[in-house]
Each structure stands twice: as structure tokens, then as C-alpha cells.
Amino acid sequence: MDNREQMNIVIVGHVDHGKSTVIGRLLADTGSLPEGKLESVKEYCKKNSRPFEYAFLLDALKDEQAQGITIDTARCFFKTGKRDYIIIDAPGHIEFLKNMVTGASRAEAALLVIDAKEGIRENSKRHGHIVSMLGIKQVVVLVNKMDLVDFDNNIFNSIKSEFTEFLDKINIKPINFIPISAFNGDNVAGKSANTLWYEGPTVLEQLDGFANKKENRQLPFRMPVQDIYKFTEENDDRRIVAGTVLSGTVKTGDEVVFLPSKKRSVINSVEGFNTAPAHTVYADQAAGFTLKTQIYIKPGELMVKAGETQPVLSSRFRVNIFWVGHVPLIKNKNYKLKIGTMRIAVKLVEILNIIDAAELNIDTFKDQVERHDVAECILETAKPIAFDAISDIELTGRFVIVDNYEISGGGIILEGVPDSDNSL
Ligand code: GDP
């Protein structure tokens, strides 16, 4: 396998505004379609006296995939000279939102498609909300079907200013608006002669310009402590701190900090399990460490490296939750939060926003989070815990909530928030 960089992008937009056409165009114009596929679908349409649609092309591809081993109808793949892209269409909202909010899949960027002729629809706004709740920072708006409005600069500008104003309210600052005709290919892979007034990048140039997430190894060191082992020999009171490294790297001689206890020590040795001792361990490896000084720490703490960016230590944080519990999530009830190896009592203290994932209705007045809702809320743990905002380090920014021994929700931490009072 080659080591090409991969990026996940999500595409959203009101039905019929042109998502499938944008995807089909991207596949076709980057040469990512199986040979002859485009021609055979066009031929089929001609024979059956139907106008060609990129949506048929995608359906044909999906049928083919479904017969193969990987059944993954919501994703399409294409590549540019720079990297491989996985474009995630959001057809079944519930599965999609669940995967995104629980971290099963992540997108680094979002494309929001708006029909230039129809303009902004209620769903365009809902999708904007979803992108905001998923914490996706790199957002580009594609103003599609510009051919239907004669590539009119004024229409483009008025959509741009109206939508910018709306997105601003939900904390999205789009990187760019691109006038396109997905059907004809204007400004998708090549610059359009029909929009000489537009000086920005094409869709493909824009995609290649997105920043990708960093490799886990390049991030600060994080290891949730799974266990503390004692050596079995008599007179040996050394302990091994064991866990799986989520991100970063650490080596013998490094100073480490355990959070939330804030205890510090220096790594004396790195012990391998069934392997020779190593000096350095990396993200994704299971490892055990002995320390230079005897400190008493507990499983559940987060081991980090001194001198690197530290995680947030807080008992209050703003999160997005996807709730799957049969009983609604309610305020001030005790739940259990699992994050890394930490298990701690948690309460819902405030609901900021709710999206009903099935209908995509946005509700700011509900006072409980029901099954299949996505909610932006504030949680509070019984004591401060260590975590990272999802935008900094994904693996330490995810959690699940357990209600009555059942996993009832999962989510991502957006940021730590100051305590409103010190009553806890
Ligand atoms: P989706 O529901 O968002 O996936 O929308 P589709 O991609 O299926 O497009 C809906 C309809 O709009 C189809 O009939 C497309 O051919 C048409 N369409 C999409 N993009 C364009 C465009 O740039 N110009 C024109 N004239 N029609 C388009």
C-alpha cells in the first residue's frame, strides 16, 4: 500500500440542489471512475430516452459496490495529485450523525451546496447547523447551477452575503464561496470562462488547499493509564504504569505528568509486553513504564509529557452528544462518563441546542435530550478531568455516557468552560 494522505470531506445541501452532481463531477474530472463507466451510463440514458444524470452514475457505482465485499453506499472516493479524498454524503441522517458525533468517522472539511436559482432553503440552514455542531471548521459553500442564472455575479453575491450572515450566527466562517455549474463542470476541476468576475480557486484547488489533520504521532503525547502493575519479586517495589498510547511519542528520560492528580515523574524504563524493552514508544502502541520516583497514581489518569501542550483540566465542558438511550437525557441526574480510561459521575447542566436527527428540526427550547437527538450542551463532572478539545486531539476529546449500565450516548468535547460558580 502506498502512503498517500487521506482526507474525509462531507457534502451537505438541500435535496436537488446538486450534491450527487458535484460528487459525480469530482469523480469524473479527477479520472476516479472505473473505465467506461461514464460512457455506459450515458449510453443507457440515451437508449431509454432519459436525460443523463450524475445521480444515475452514482447509483450505478453504488450497485456495483453493494455486490462486492465492501458495502458502503454513503462514501465515494476520488484522488488528486495531492491526496485521496473520501466524500461522505449524508443520506440517512441518523447513522451519519451518530458516526460523526461519536467519532466513528470524522470529516476535516464540509462542502455546502446551494442552488443559485432556488437560493437558501430551510435545509441549507439546518445543514449549516449540523456542520457547526460537528465542529467542522473548514467550510466552503458551492453556489451551484450558476448556468441557470446566466452566471450572474449579483445573484451569487446576494446569496453569499445572506448566507454569510446566517452562518456567522452559528459560528461558521466559510473559507470561500465558489460559483459553479456542477452539471457543466464550471469551476469544479477547471476555471470557468463564464465567471471571469470570480477570482478564487476551483473546487478541486480549494479541496487541495484544506489543511488535513495531523498524524497521531505528531501530536502531543497522551496515554490513558489502564493499569498499575507491581513487580512480583520480593523487595522490588517498582511499579509499571501501563496503557495504550493514543497520540504522540515518549521515551526514557522524559518528564511526564499524570492528570488530574498533577503528579510528576521521569520515565526510567519502557517495558515491552512480550517484546524487548524499547526506548521510545509511539501512538497506537501498548506500553508499560517504570518511573524514577515512586508516585501513587490510579488507573483512569491521563499521562502526558511535561513541556508539551497540556490537555484541559476542567469539570465543565461544552459538548455535542448523540443520544441513543431509550430514556431521555435529563438535567441534574447522575450519569457515568467514560473518557479514555476514566470513569466519573457526570450531570447535564445546560442544553444549548438540539437537532432532531431524523427530521433535522432544530429546537432550542427542549429541556431534555431524546433518543436520536444531537444536542449541544454543557456537562459537569464530579471532579475535574483531563481532556482535549476535539479540534486539538480527537482521541482524547471523545466520550460516552452510560445510563443504568447501558451506553446511552456518545459525543465530542468542543471546549472546556469555566465553572459558573464554585459550588462543586
Ligand atoms: P441532490 O439531490 O442534491 O443530490 O441533487 P442532484 O445532483 O441529483 O441534482 C438535482 C437536479 O439538478 C438534477 O436534475 C441535476 O441534473 C440538476 N443539476 C445539478 N447540478 C446542476 C447544474 O449545475 N446546472 C443545472 N442546470 N442543473 C444541475
Closest Cα to atom 11, ligand 1: which residue? 16
Q: What is the dihedral of CA 293, 299, 300, 305, to 10 degrees?
A: 30
Task: Using 50 as the pLDDT threshold, list the residues of the chain that sit under it.
Answer: 1, 68-73, 422-424
User: What pLDDT score does 277 carry?
Assistant: 64
To test the pocket of ligand 1, the residue of 10, 14, 15, 16 to mutate (highest count of ligand atoms within 8 Å of its CB) is 16
Helix residue spans in 135-245 (DSSP H)? 153-169, 203-209
pLDDT for the residue numbered 73: 47
Q: Cα of 13 to ligand 1 centre, how many Å?
A: 11
3-class DSSP state of 245: coil
pLDDT at 91: 58
Residues in the chain: 424
The average confidence (pLDDT) of the chain is 88
Which pLDDT value is given to residue 350?
A: 95
Question: Separation of 42 CA from ligand 1 center, angstroms?
Answer: 16
**Of 284, 276, 286, 283, whose CA–CA distance to 229 is shortest?**
286
Give me the phi and psi of 252, to 5 degrees please.
-55, 135
> What is the tens place of the pLDDT at every residue in 331-385?
999 999 999 999 999 999 999 988 877 667 777 778 999 998 889 999 999 999 9
Best probe residue, ligand 1, of 11, 12, 21 (max atoms within 8 Å of C-beta): 21
Is the beta carbon of 18 within 6 A of some atom in ligand 1?
yes
**Residue 422's pLDDT is what?**
46
- Residue 169 burial (10 A CB sphere; 0-12, 13-18, 19+): exposed
- Closest atom of ligand 1 to 22 CA is 7
Q: For 87-102, what is each residue's pLDDT tens digit?
A: 887 656 677 777 777 7
- Residue 48: left (phi > 0), alpha (psi -120 to 50), or beta? alpha
Check residue 423 and give its pLDDT. Answer: 43
ipTM: 0.99
How far apart CA 96 and CA 101 sit, in angstroms, is 9
Ligand 1: distance of its center to the CA of 181 in Å? 9
CA dihedral for 145, 148, 149, 151, sign (positive or negative): positive
Residue of 341, 338, 340, 324 lying closest to 379 (CA atoms): 338
Are the CB atoms for 341 and 224 separated by under 8 Å? yes
Cis peptide before 260 (omega within 30 of 0): yes
Q: What is the pTM of this model?
A: 0.81
Q: Is the CB of 183 under 6 A from ligand 1?
A: yes
